[in-house]
Amino acid sequence: MAISVDAPDVSRDMREKAGYTYTFLSDPNAEVIRRYDLVHAGAGEHGRDIARPGEFLVDSSGTVRWVNLTENYWVRARPEQFIEAAKALP
């Protein structure tokens, strides 16, 4: 599941073009992004607040089991890392 400040139609176009099947959620005012302390203030278009990259694997009880917070936005977690972390879920 992916979250950004993008409007639903922007995400829909991108999702369809890329062929992604998972859920994309829109957080235009960065409220949830702020709750997760991931706001990158003023980094978007016209000084808009956006999310810095961050990935969390949450188990069925709602507990965080794995976190990845990159220090360079060109360096992202790879699918193998997610799969490895997901295998360890109860």
Partner 1 sequence: MKTRSFNWLVWAGLLISVVAFVSYFFVFVRFPVTRDFPWASLLLFGVAAALLLVGLRRAFAPERHRGSKVAGLVAATLSVAIFGVFVFTTFIMARWMPTAQGAPQVGQRAPEFSLADTDGKPVSLSELLSTPINGKAPRGVLLVFYRGYW
The residue ranges that bind partner 1 (CB under 8 A) are: 1-6, 8-12, 14-15, 23-27, 31-33, 35-41, 43-45, 48, 50-60, 62-67, 69, 71-76, 78, 82, 86, 89-90
Q: How far is the CB of 19 from partner 1 (least distance, A)?
A: 14
- Cβ 88 to partner 1, closest distance in Å? 10
In whole angstroms, the minimum distance from the beta carbon of 62 to partner 1 comes to 5
Burial label for 80, CB within 10 Å (0-12, 13-18, 19+), is: exposed
76: Cβ–Cβ under 8 A, 6 or more apart, which residues?
Answer: 53, 70
Q: Which amino acid belongs to residue 1?
A: M
How far apart (Å, rounded) are the C-alpha atoms in residues 29 and 34? 9
Closer CB to partner 1, 19 or 37, in the complex = 37
